[in-house]
A and B are shown apart, each in its own frame.
Chain A
Amino acid sequence: MSSRREFIRISFIGAGVLAVAPGVLKAAGVITDPNKIKDLKVDLKRTPTYCEVCFWKCAGWVYKTSEGKIWKIIGNDEDQHCNGRFCPRGTGGVGMYYDEDRLRTPLIRTGERGKQVFREASWDEALNLVASKIKDISSKYGPESLALFTHGSGSAYYTNLFKALGTGNIAEPSYAQCRGPRDDAFFATFGEEAYSPEITDIRDTRCLVLIGSHIGENMHNGQVQEMSDAIDKGATIITVDPRFSTAAGKSKFWLPIKPATDIALLLAWIHEIIYNEYYDKKYVEKYCSGFDQLKTHVKDFTPEWAYGITTIKPDLIRKTAKEMGNASPAVIVHPGRHVTWYGDDTQRVRAIAILNALLGSWGRRGGLYRPAKFTVPAVPVPAYKEPVKTWQDIFPGKYPVASAPVTNVLIEASIPDNKPGFPVKGWFVNGTNLILTIPNQANTIKAIQNLDLLVVVDTMPMEITGWADVILPECTYLERYDALRASPHRRPSIALRMPAAEPLNNTKPGYWIARELAIKLGLGDYFPYEKLEDMLDWQLKKIGSSLEEMKRSGVKNFPRDADDLYFTEEEAVEFSTDSGKIELYSAFFEQSGFDPLPKYVPHEEPAEGFYRLIYGRAPMHTFSRTSNNPNLTDLMHENSVWINPRVAKAWGIKQDQYIWLKNQDNVVSDFPVKVRVTERIRWDSVYMVHGFGHAQKQMKRCFGKGASDTQLITKVLTDPIMGGTGMRGNFVTFITEKTGTEVAS
């Protein structure tokens, strides 16, 4: 891959630098040091961990009762990700441990694929089977015929294994199904991605612009906390959303935009900010290239022009542009996270990146800060086999700009009819429920039917396990060690995860699974440490700490290498782009045949009687991961379909009624979904929370509850730039009574 993907300007700490000693914080009257607590009946044994319920990876403490049972999970005060406060999913993580529907023991398929007939097996037998099949595929088709789909802490181990096998087909759905267009748009503009956690300096911002981000319903812990701080400080929030989101409810300006027209609004804002000279002139002159081309490009994109497309009134567009300009540079046009909507998403986020650049927010206080990441000493392993073929050889020429392997390309490669450059015959799936993650379920299933091997590592019997040849049950994060967390943030930091309990039943930690499999494949050298905690101790001792110390503190924060959280006035910043500057005009995209500046392209609108299917998050769930969690299903056990009252009245549909949804391709939802008649949604759309409508009977709490939006997302709007799968081009109509046979409308 090209070197422009390297991060620059990330401080790193070498060995020997003193860490900040963890102390006892008394913030807002909260004492969390057990030594200070008297009279509490429980024995406050606590072990440190970092959460696995979502990607934010907040560090915290697992408290246990005097009988040693897991009691509750509390945030670590020292942790920058959570500041001592876990979100509802993290707090409810105990439910993941106690869920009685968890996978218990390895399973090997005996019936037809998808019929879910399995038999229990020992670890030895299961792993031997996996190893032998991997060897078969590797020798018959080459190691490039193996693909790893992964998400979460286990990624590190399986990535290590698959690289050792000689394949580079390691794909995270969070790229092409979620943040991919955003990261590539930011790469093209700033030479850096937007990171996880995002580098948004919300707590010091004066103006937060949310376009396609629903903070408050998406529970990105740090961002929700900082938005609250921003509200306290009187910051302006501007929300652009066809739905009256929670964030919209706290916004000074809510722009109820017509779906799929965001680029027009962004271009009009750019127009206003340039032609009214609201932009940060010094910053643009010093750091940006392509300004003149941009100015010419947006000449005709006036608020009046945008009004006709977006239905947002021109004076509101002007007012909000001015508000952003006034706040500059302490303004954030939020990059968003799940941005795979309409297929032109990379270009839309390019517009967002350009806006940020014009307002001078990149590298400024209250804008987008420069993250620092701790580099954990790597354990020496033999060199990896260089892959003979990469995923880009599957459909040569497609998605040349993509910065990471594209899941859907690997999936397409498994279908012979697609005539891939090479077939992908073996999938290893870790911690991601592909059936509910990848749109166009029928296509995914078709791909699976052509596989020689499907191995799934999971904690719960999710839909993807139903198609597996071998199911390997992992224990939850509360029962295992994992690699040190070293996520980027304002200061470099590391966090320890250690088990609070022994793995239940016959489940095993991801590291053990990967290592055992590696040994059976003759690749044991890539996992030199039998016990992960020994590796952690080695790493920690190398940086002047130890496993014992980390067990006591949980988190270690380090000072930055230099005081460079933000740009200083005199700093001559070099960006990791071809020109070394922020590229408002992307010659890089132009070279690959894509528009160097974003353009508005109209998208398909719903037919009569159909409504655009919009989906999102609820703060108490992380999609499949928490669907069956007893504590979290207690809060929300099903999703509902939000319907505007005018629409409900026209259809005669009532609040709390259960209806089925049918999409434009005549796919009907398996299960009926509860109706919520609410003014919060436009009359041309309906809204549902993603992650419900599970069809797995083994999960007793979530089976049949709510409807699956994934099932109804059959039309995929693929982004030609990087392969992102746009999912908001599907439309649904309502079926109030399900008959045996469906009459095509």
Chain B
Amino acid sequence: MKEELIVSGRMNHMVDPNLNIWHWQIPLYLFLGGMAAGILCIAALYYIRGRENDYRTAVRITPFLAPVLLVLGLVALFIDLRHKLYFWHLYTTIRLQSPMSWGAWTLLVITPVSFIWCALHIRDLFPNWDWKYRWLKVLEEFFNKYKKALAWVMLIFGIILGIYTGILLSAFNARPLWNTSILGPLFLASGLSAGAAATLILSKNKEERKQFAIIDLVIIGIELFLIVHMFMGFLASTQVQIDAAKMFLGGSYTMAFWIFVVILGMLIPAMLEIMELGKFHIPAILPAILVIFGSFMLRFVIVYAGQMSRWLY
């Protein structure tokens, strides 16, 4: 029998017996940020490809959710900080090796950009909107003139926003469950999926809804592919990663992952959307909500389960 124990009673709050440093604030932000990223990427992409008029909701209406999601996400992040008054230090330096630093700067760029994008389309919601002040009208003209550049900025930073959280977690080799480079693309895909689902709910255009159902379907396929590869990677890797994978294959997070994330969040909405495309009438809102739920649960499960995986003791 091999026995290993800490005899000096180490029980550091939030570190022992299992890492517990990040609570609901972090998965919530990851979800909100991911969904906002998805929304903005899709909006920017279709605008740049000139399909604005085919997908008016996606490009012009859905993005109104983005600033709300981003601000709520930022509030969650701020609440999570334990040394709040010093948060501004994030913006005194850019640390290229720290994904969190990228994230801080990305948020600094994309949040105002999302506000601007919404401002440019304010009349889709409020037809009689008047900017009142001259400088605001000047700004509106300016951004309309350079809307394509703005869209490119939004696309690039949107992708970074969507993928950096996965890269951030995967850079923690101390948490074997997160230490897979598949996490970045998985989070981006999940964010795009949630963003597409938002348009699925908001759009009143049947063609648009059909297109986005297909987009969702394709992305779900990609996500399932990534998840399978993630597990294949774990099980073929070192002992700590095998143990991490076991948490989802019989361990304490098995139910949460397979039922909430995969079945409810991916397989059932996929089935529903196939049925919709096969001319069965399904209220579009149902698969969309399930997809958004699954996207949220994915972050939740990964953040909590990851903190349980460790190398020592």
Contacts and interface: CB of A to CB of B under 8 A. Distances in A.
Q: Do chains A and B touch in the complex (CB under 8 A)?
A: yes
Interface of A: 620, 634-637, 645, 678-680
A645 B1 contact: yes
A634 to B, nearest CB: 6
B3 interface: yes
Interface in B1-30: 1, 3, 7-9
A679 B8 contact: no
A620 B8 contact: yes
A634 B16 CA distance: 14
A636 to B, nearest CB: 5
A637 B9 contact: yes
A679 B9 contact: no
Nearest to A619: B7
A636 B3 contact: no
Contacts of B8: 620, 635-636
A680 B9 CA distance: 19
By Cβ-Cβ distance, the 7 closest A-B pairs, closest first, are: A635-B9, A635-B8, A679-B1, A636-B9, A645-B1, A678-B3, A634-B9
A403 B214 CA distance: 96
Given A635-B8, A636-B8, 12 more contacts: A620-B8, A634-B9, A635-B9, A636-B7, A636-B9, A637-B9, A645-B1, A678-B1, A678-B3, A679-B1, A679-B3, A680-B3
B12 to A, nearest CB: 11
Nearest to A678: B3
Interface string B243-283: 00000000000000000000000000000000000000000
Contacts of A635: 8-9
14 contacts: A620-B8, A634-B9, A635-B8, A635-B9, A636-B7, A636-B8, A636-B9, A637-B9, A645-B1, A678-B1, A678-B3, A679-B1, A679-B3, A680-B3
Nearest to B2: A679
Interface string B62-73: 000000000000
A542 B1 CA distance: 63
A134 B9 CA distance: 46
Contacts of B1: 645, 678-679
Contacts of A679: 1, 3
A634 B13 CA distance: 12
Nearest to A632: B9
A689 B279 CA distance: 74
Contacts of A680: 3
A566 to B, nearest CB: 38
B175 to A, nearest CB: 24
Contacts of B9: 634-637
Interface in B172-190: none
A635 B7 CA distance: 7
Contacts of A620: 8
Nearest to A634: B9
A124 B186 CA distance: 77
A680 B7 CA distance: 14
B31 to A, nearest CB: 35
A217 to B, nearest CB: 10
Contacts of A645: 1
A89 to B, nearest CB: 13
Nearest to B5: A676
A71 B100 CA distance: 38
A166 to B, nearest CB: 49
A278 to B, nearest CB: 38
B17 to A, nearest CB: 10
B79 to A, nearest CB: 30
A636 B7 CA distance: 8
A638 B37 CA distance: 51
Interface string B122-134: 0000000000000
Contacts of B7: 636
A634 B1 CA distance: 28
B11 to A, nearest CB: 8
Contacts of A637: 9
A677 to B, nearest CB: 8
Contacts of B3: 678-680
B257 to A, nearest CB: 27
B92 to A, nearest CB: 26
A712 B261 CA distance: 53
Nearest to B3: A678
B176 to A, nearest CB: 23
Nearest to B9: A635
Interface in B26-79: none
Nearest to A88: B8
B15 to A, nearest CB: 15
A636 B5 CA distance: 13
A637 B7 CA distance: 11
A159 B16 CA distance: 49
A620 B3 CA distance: 21
A636 B11 CA distance: 11
A715 B122 CA distance: 88
B200 to A, nearest CB: 49
Nearest to B8: A635
A13 B9 CA distance: 46
A637 B11 CA distance: 11
Contacts of A678: 1, 3
A130 to B, nearest CB: 40
Nearest to A680: B3
A679 B1 CA distance: 7
A637 B8 CA distance: 10
Nearest to A640: B5
A678 B3 CA distance: 7
A680 B2 CA distance: 11
A634 B8 CA distance: 8
A634 B10 CA distance: 8
Interface string B151-191: 00000000000000000000000000000000000000000
A636 B1 CA distance: 24
A619 B251 CA distance: 38
A678 B7 CA distance: 14
Nearest to A636: B9
A426 B8 CA distance: 42
A636 B9 CA distance: 6
A679 B9 CA distance: 20
A452 to B, nearest CB: 44
B217 to A, nearest CB: 48
Contacts of A634: 9
B301 to A, nearest CB: 26
A582 to B, nearest CB: 41
A637 B10 CA distance: 11
B249 to A, nearest CB: 23
B162 to A, nearest CB: 42
Nearest to A655: B3
Interface string B109-147: 000000000000000000000000000000000000000
A680 B8 CA distance: 18
Contacts of A636: 7-9
A357 to B, nearest CB: 38
A653 to B, nearest CB: 15
A259 B3 CA distance: 24
A635 B3 CA distance: 19
A696 B44 CA distance: 69
A645 B2 CA distance: 11
A316 B258 CA distance: 59
A706 to B, nearest CB: 13
A645 B7 CA distance: 19
A648 to B, nearest CB: 10
B3 to A, nearest CB: 6
A518 B8 CA distance: 45
A634 B7 CA distance: 11
Nearest to A679: B1
A629 to B, nearest CB: 13
A243 B70 CA distance: 61
Nearest to B11: A634
A620 B8 CA distance: 9
